[in-house]
A and B are shown apart, each in its own frame.
Chain A
Amino acid sequence: MNIVVLVKQVPDSGAERTLSRTDHTLDRAGAELVLDEINERAAEEALRLKETADAHITVVSMGPDSALDAIRKVLAMGADRGIHICDDRLHGADLLTTAKVLAAAVRTVADVDLVLAGDAATDGGASAVPAVVADLLALPQVTHVRQLDVDAGRVRALRETENGQTTLDAPLPALVSVTEKINEPRYPSFKGIMAAKKKPVDTVGLDDLLPDADGFLVSRTRVVEAVPRPPRAAGTRIADDGSAGRQLAAYLIAQKLV
């Protein structure tokens, strides 16, 4: 079975994020970059499949030079090879361009059975890149999955959204995106980290992936204005002396919130 895992490097979500003043894209310079946590779970799911079936795992990431660290981490967890899509022209790529480039990279891998991704990136966005990749590759979209079962050429999955849970069924090849609740990712072992250094990683650019991309568009939208919102300040604070619930009720009533 050939599995492709799509991963992304993101600024650590515990840190403050800022927009670049010049082009309103996410300022990566100041932020500590990490492999997006949900992507780790997608990689973990691929590795679990590899434990039960003969599988070859390719990890794909689009991003600047530093994205190689994210790829190496998944290789250290146990993936077999990497594809690093690195091209300055992709800076500020919108969802569609990102999905097109990722889909093109998946196409370079022969006989793919399963594409795995995280269902959301913690640096914001529509959580819809996987759905668009599925559309572009004409694969069934099996997204927001908290439980996955791949067997006998089919995927059965439990999708969880605000509307509740649905059970999905699709033939392979398919695209699956996983939620943060699907598993606990393993830590790379020391042996894994050493082995990862020798695993092959191809670096590819736009010309390799979309050679006849006439009129290539980085983005189909434009930021007109970006204004930082003022931070919130603390208001009233009380320590409970046995009447805090009553005082709080009085506050809510005064604010016409009750």
Chain B
Amino acid sequence: MPEVLVLVDHDGEHVNKSTYELLAVARRLGDPGAVVVGTPGTATRLMESLARYGATSVHAAESKDAAEFLVTPAVDALELAVRDTSPAAVLVSATTDGREVAARLAARLGAGLLIDAVDLDSSGVVTQIVFGGSYTVRSQVTHGIPVITVRPGAFEPEEHPGEAVERTITLPVVDPATSARVTDRRTAPAGDRPGLTEATVVVSGGRGVGGADGFELVEQLADALGGAVGASRAAVDAGYYPHRFQVGQTGKTVSPQLYIALGISGAIQHLAGMQTSKTIVAVNKDPEAPILDLADYGVVGDLFAVAPQLTREVAARRAVG
């Protein structure tokens, strides 16, 4: 079986869930080879977890520079790993960094790039949902080794314990004239909530929430449901909630089991980021709000009355078990 290379997302100590998803889907095409880019010692720390989720080899691309420069070390590592292994495909999580790494890699390989896969079959045909959920497209790479970015949350991680062999990739020294140096990192506090794109429940607030204080109500409902918090662009631009939580065309695309929109009108650019959600609930005081036209359950009412009542009901239900 050919190898399928997977770029490992990690924080130095732990492998991100999205990588386990990639390892699971990689097995449809070949033997998963995990590429770890990090400071010396990282691959050894992650080895066991990667092997448990199906990696048959772990390529360690380690250097002091690896964490200090943006994107380039990962591109270099994957390029070298591809030349070593001639893989059937390279899979990368469709995060902001992941997309940039994948695109630069595809450019260096002169290979086809497919983005945001939500499904992938054993012949390498990828399913994508484009234009904010208006089309389902199936595509194929016609030139070179397929480089594919996979939407976090689109696949389930699967334990598949085995032995993984460790290989070493010698990273070139980064040329500071051609790479940006990361001089400071303010990692978003992970908190107790699931990641926006991975969550099975997302509760989003819009301009109707009225302010940063109002977002406490959104957070309380999200917490009662074990979900993530999202926001419309109007809410982000008004400073109610940070940018990284923006849902929509120029924000994140989410596809949870349950999406609850509080005080969001339902502009086409917002819908583009959430309309593939399984169930959509909207609370809006305007009966004409477009979001109500696609909600599976729409409440015409004041969110400041409805949301706290819902939170209490859900919390009570959870308490009972």
A66: chain B residues at CB < 8 Å are: none
| Minimum CB distance partner of B307 in chain A | A245
Interface residues on A, range: 35 or more
User: A126-B102, A135-B104, A162-B188 in contact; A13/B293 too (CB < 8 A)?
Assistant: no
| Minimum CB distance partner of A221 in chain B | B112
A131: chain B residues at CB < 8 Å are: 71, 99-100, 103-104
CB atoms of B275 and A13 under 8 A apart: no
A223–B140 Cα distance when bound, in Å, is 6
CB atoms of A171 and B177 under 8 A apart: yes
CB atoms of A235 and B139 under 8 A apart: no
CB atoms of B306 and A234 under 8 A apart: no
A163: chain B residues at CB < 8 Å are: 95-97, 187-188, 244
| Minimum CB distance partner of B312 in chain A | A245
A135–B179 Cα distance when bound, in Å, is 9
| Minimum CB distance partner of B136 in chain A | A227
Contact of A162 among B115, B252, B267 (CB under 8 A): B252
Interface stretch of the complex, out of B29-37, B39-47, B313-321? B313-321
| Minimum CB distance partner of A257 in chain B | B258
| Minimum CB distance partner of A96 in chain B | B107
- Proximity string of chain B (166-194) to chain A, C-beta cutoff 8 Å, 1 when within and 0 when not: 00000000001111111111111000000
Whether A249 sits at the interface, judged by CB under 8 Å, is yes
Whether B2 sits at the interface, judged by CB under 8 Å, is no
User: A146-B243, A255-B279 in contact; A234/B293 too (CB < 8 A)?
Assistant: yes
- Proximity string of chain A (13-40) to chain B, C-beta cutoff 8 Å, 1 when within and 0 when not: 1111111000010000000000000100
Whether A120 sits at the interface, judged by CB under 8 Å, is yes
- Proximity string of chain A (85-128) to chain B, C-beta cutoff 8 Å, 1 when within and 0 when not: 00000000011100110000000000000000000101011111
User: A170-B181, A240-B301 in contact; A128/B317 too (CB < 8 A)?
Assistant: no
Whether A142 sits at the interface, judged by CB under 8 Å, is yes
Give chain A nearest CB distance to B203 CB in angstroms: 12
| Minimum CB distance partner of B97 in chain A | A161
Kindly identify, within residues 248 to 287 of chain B, every residue whose CB is under 8 Å from any CB belonging to chain A.
Answer: 249-250, 252, 257-258, 267-269, 272, 275-276, 279-281, 283, 287
Contact of B180 among A16, A125, A168 (CB under 8 A): A168
B279: chain A residues at CB < 8 Å are: 255, 257
User: A128-B100, A229-B135, A238-B300 in contact; A246/B125 too (CB < 8 A)?
Assistant: no
Interface stretch of the complex, out of B55-63, B141-149, B157-165, B208-216? B141-149
CB atoms of B138 and A220 under 8 A apart: no
Give chain B nearest CB distance to A133 CB in angstroms: 9
Whether A179 sits at the interface, judged by CB under 8 Å, is yes
Give chain A nearest CB distance to B321 CB in angstroms: 12
A132: chain B residues at CB < 8 Å are: 103-104, 107
Whether A80 sits at the interface, judged by CB under 8 Å, is no
Main secondary structure of the interface of A (DSSP, over half): mixed
Give chain A nearest CB distance to B307 CB in angstroms: 7
A107–B293 Cα distance when bound, in Å, is 50
CB atoms of A258 and B137 under 8 A apart: no
A225: chain B residues at CB < 8 Å are: 137-138
- Proximity string of chain A (223-257) to chain B, C-beta cutoff 8 Å, 1 when within and 0 when not: 11111110111111111101111111111110101
CB atoms of A226 and B250 under 8 A apart: no
Whether B72 sits at the interface, judged by CB under 8 Å, is yes
10 A-B pairs closest in CB distance: A245-B309, A240-B301, A220-B112, A249-B313, A128-B103, A164-B188, A220-B143, A131-B100, A235-B296, A167-B184
Identify 18 new A-B residue pairs, CB closer than 8 A, beyond the known A38-B250, A126-B116. A129-B103, A168-B180, A169-B180, A169-B181, A171-B176, A223-B138, A226-B138, A229-B134, A236-B296, A237-B299, A240-B301, A245-B308, A245-B309, A246-B310, A249-B314, A252-B281, A252-B314, A257-B258
List, sorted by A's number, 23 A–B pairs whose CB atoms are closer than 8 Å. Answer: A16-B134, A128-B100, A135-B107, A146-B243, A161-B244, A163-B96, A164-B187, A166-B182, A166-B184, A168-B181, A169-B180, A225-B138, A226-B135, A228-B134, A232-B296, A233-B294, A238-B299, A239-B299, A244-B283, A244-B305, A249-B310, A255-B279, A257-B258
List the interface of chain A (C-beta within 8 A of B).
13-19, 24, 38, 94-96, 99-100, 120, 122, 124-129, 131-132, 134-136, 138-144, 146, 155-157, 159-171, 174, 179-181, 217, 219-229, 231-240, 242-253, 255, 257-258
